[in-house]
Structure formats: C-alpha cells, structure tokens
C-alpha cells in the first residue's frame, strides 16, 4: 500500500549516518508491513553549500513543498564557521521552516524506563516522564525586524526584535490545546508577561483560546520559573506551549532530563490546506556532532523516533508508530547502548549500525 511521499535531507556530520538507519526502517515497513513510501533524497546545510553555494537550493525547496513530509538529519559544523551569515548551513533549515510555514514545533521529552538511571536527576523524579513542548517556530525574536548590528555613536549595537501578532499566537495555542485534548488535558503556557509586552499579549490570546477548550486545564508560568520547575519536578507538566526563543531554551532543558540529546525527536507542523495533510518536517533534536562523524558512535534513535512521529502525525499510522517506539524500548531494555549512553554497568556497547540491527530485530519480533 502506498502511504505517501518523503523527502530525506541527511545534511552534515552524523546526519547521513543516522538517516541511513531510518532508511532501513522505512524499507522494513515496505517489506514487512506493506507500507511503501515514495522516497527522494537531496542536500541541505553545509553539504548543499559545498555543491551549490547555498545551504538550500531552490529546487530542493520546491521538492519540500510538494511532498507529504520532510525528514532532516542535522546541519552545520566548524568547517562552515567563517561563512557569511546568509549562507551558513543553519539558514537552510530556517528557510525550510519559514517557507513551509511550519509554525508549531513539537518536542517530546520521554524517559524510557531502561534509561531512568542515566539522567542526572534522581530516578523517582524522571522515571515515567512523558511531556510535550510546543514551540512557536516562525516568528518571535528570531525573525522580527529590525535586526542586525549597527553603528550607534562610538560603538556598535546588536538589535533583535521580539514581535508576535495575535493570529500567530492563536494558531500555535490551538495546536497545543488540540494535543492536550489527546493527552492529559493539561496545558501550561510560558512567557515573560512580567517584563515583556509580547508576553502580555501571549497570555491574553492563550487565555482567550482556552474558552474553546473547556476540558483542558490551563495554567500560566513565567518562562524562567518554568525552566526551574522542569529541573525540580518535570512530571508536573503534560503539554507546554511557549514562544520561539523560550521554546528553544526550555526544550533543550527538557532534552537533558532524559540523559541524552541522542534520544529526542521533533516535529514541525504547518496548517493543513483543504483536504490536504499539513506540511511537516521531522528531525532529531541533536546537532551534526562533527567530532564523532564517521566513527559509528552516533545514536540513531532520535532520528528513528522522528520517523515514528511522521508515521503518527503525517500518515495517521499511530499503531505503527507505537510499534516502532516499543521496538526501541525493547532494545534499550536489553541493555544495548550507543556511545552517548554508556556509563552503566552490564550494558552492551553497540555502533550506529548495530543499534539499527537491534531495532529491526525487535520489529521482526513484534510481528
């Protein structure tokens, strides 16, 4: 059965290595579950710059607009540090998010039971953690104008503008409320309404949207206090919604609660058109990790879990996403660990490919 179309953008550093394991998972679904995907592949980030002189070619952007979902590995590396800001690898990713209008970034933080001792937090604080941070992705301080470095008197000044419209806040809030309805019906909105006018507007709009979701328990928290509470007792939260900057910071805090960035996926979703799936991009939270690229040390689980999110949110295959996540949990329970997860006694070190082998074996066993 044909499921839909995927554009794979492996990117830089460990991106191609972890994406290779995802390709094997995709092939497994075609062979063992009769779920075939129309898969194409292209360049992004430094790899695209090396070939085209731009971090994202126009032709690649057109492909991304046409497919049902984009899977991205990672971009960047020290090789590109001296490039002009406009052509740095990360600009390719930002262009994808902006032109596909991917305004809602979903970043789950889940602690698998087998890794509860690996977190820097106490086991009773982290065991069973399952939260979702919804980060607004296409506005706020990363995109607001004016921006830049200017001469002012006898010195330079750096300017970035935090800017949000009511409609931008409304749509990401509704995405968060919809997710909360499918989970624990509890939503915490985080901003800085005590010192920022954009935070005041954010709180007012989210409160207004809440009237359409009376079953959801809404709370508000200042973002700095939210960071503290994530480190103190993260299980008090279910879904968190916040702006672009605070979402960037808070989701990385949540990421480390689980012990490794190599475990965390993300989804960036847009608005569905009539009778169409929403535009979507899926990527691991981790970076390109050029220091371990090509050594078989990379953890492919975050990238594989990103594909699981694609199964769930883009292709309505929630049962198959559950199957894949359960296979990963089985492998971790068996004690198999890539380099980022070593440190416990009695575990089995595995390479990137061997982790892929183990997950495929667990998928076979699930049939």
Domain boundaries of the chain, sorted by first residue: 1-103+270-367, 112-262
Return all residues near 155 (Cβ < 8 A) that are at least 6 apart.
none
Q: Choose, from 88, 192, 297, 336, the residue flagged as catalytic.
A: 192
Both tokens of 358, joined, read 């183990």
| pLDDT at residue 120, as a whole number | 78
Decide if 248 is catalytic.
Answer: yes
The domain 1-103+270-367 belongs to what CATH superfamily?
Answer: Isopropylmalate Dehydrogenase (3.40.718.10)
Domain 112-262: assigned CATH number: 3.40.718.10
| pLDDT at residue 68, as a whole number | 94
Please state, in angstroms and rounded to a whole number, the distance separating the CA atoms of residues 164 and 353.
Answer: 44
| pLDDT at residue 271, as a whole number | 78
| pLDDT at residue 9, as a whole number | 98
Query: In 3-state terms, what secondary structure has residue 283?
Result: strand
Decide if 142 is catalytic.
Answer: yes
In 3D space, the residue among 290, 304, 241, 294 whose CA is nearest the CA of residue 26 turns out to be 304
Decide if 291 is catalytic.
Answer: no
| pLDDT at residue 275, as a whole number | 56
With beta carbons less than 8 A apart as the criterion, state whether 83 and 19 touch.
no
In 3D space, the residue among 343, 327, 307, 322 whose CA is nearest the CA of residue 115 turns out to be 343
Fold equal for 1-103+270-367 and 112-262 = yes
Q: Choose, from 27, 50, 170, 224, the residue flagged as catalytic.
A: 224
The DSSP code for 278 is P
Return all residues near 110 (Cβ < 8 A) that are at least 6 apart.
129, 130, 131, 258
With beta carbons less than 8 A apart as the criterion, state whether 68 and 315 touch.
yes
Q: Choose, from 248, 279, 282, 313, the residue flagged as catalytic.
A: 248
| pLDDT at residue 273, as a whole number | 55
Give the residue ranges of the chain where pLDDT is below 50.
none
Q: Choose, from 142, 164, 213, 313, the residue flagged as catalytic.
A: 142
Both tokens of 353, joined, read 């490919």
Decide if 192 is catalytic.
Answer: yes
| Total residues belonging to the chain | 367
| pLDDT at residue 30, as a whole number | 97
| pLDDT at residue 343, as a whole number | 74
| pLDDT at residue 303, as a whole number | 97
| pLDDT at residue 151, as a whole number | 95
Q: Choose, from 101, 130, 252, 322, the residue flagged as catalytic.
A: 252
Decide if 49 is catalytic.
Answer: no
With beta carbons less than 8 A apart as the criterion, state whether 181 and 209 touch.
no
Q: Give strand pairing partners of 108.
A: 132
* Burial class of 336 by CB neighbour count within 10 A (0 to 12, 13 to 18, 19+): buried
């Amino acid at each position: 059965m044909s499921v839909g179309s995927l554009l794979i953008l492996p990117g830089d550093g460990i991106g191609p290595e972890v994406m290779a394991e995802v390709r094997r998972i995709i092939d497994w679904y075609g062979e063992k579950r009769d779920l075939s995907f129309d898969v194409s592949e292209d360049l992004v980030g430094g790899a695209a710059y090396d070939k085209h002189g731009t971090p994202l070619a126009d032709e690649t952007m057109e492909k991304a607009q046409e497919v049902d979902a984009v899977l991205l590995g990672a971009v960047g590396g020290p090789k590109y540090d001296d490039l002009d800001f406009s052509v740095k690898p990360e600009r390719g990713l930002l262009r994808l998010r902006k032109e596909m209008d991917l305004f809602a970034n979903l970043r789950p933080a889940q602690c698998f039971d087998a890794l509860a001792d690996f977190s820097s937090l106490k086991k009773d604080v982290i065991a069973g953690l399952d939260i979702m941070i919804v980060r607004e992705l296409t506005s706020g301080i990363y995109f607001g104008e004016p921006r830049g470095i200017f001469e002012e008197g006898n010195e330079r000044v750096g300017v970035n503008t935090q800017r949000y419209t009511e409609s931008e806040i409304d749509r990401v809030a509704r995405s968060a409320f919809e997710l909360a309805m499918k989970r624990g019906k509890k939503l915490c909105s985080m901003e800085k309404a005590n010192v920022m006018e954009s935070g005041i507007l954010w709180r007012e709009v989210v409160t207004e949207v809440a009237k359409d979701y009376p079953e959801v328990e809404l709370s508000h928290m200042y973002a700095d206090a939210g960071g503290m509470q994530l480190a103190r007792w993260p299980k008090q939260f279910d879904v968190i919604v916040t702006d672009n900057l605070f979402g960037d910071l808070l989701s990385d805090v949540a990421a480390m609660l689980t012990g490794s960035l190599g475990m965390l996926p993300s989804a960036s979703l847009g608005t569905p058109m009539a009778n169409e799936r929403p535009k979507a991009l899926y990527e691991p939270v981790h970076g390109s990790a050029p220091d371990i690229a090509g050594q078989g040390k990379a953890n492919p689980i975050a990238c594989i879990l990103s594909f699981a999110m694609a199964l769930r949110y883009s292709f309505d295959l929630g049962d198959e996403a559950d199957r894949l996540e359960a296979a990963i949990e089985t492998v971790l329970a068996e004690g198999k660990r890539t380099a980022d997860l070593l440190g416990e006694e009695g575990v089995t070190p595995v390479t990137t490919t061997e982790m892929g082998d183990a997950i495929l074996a667990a998928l076979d066993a699930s049939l």
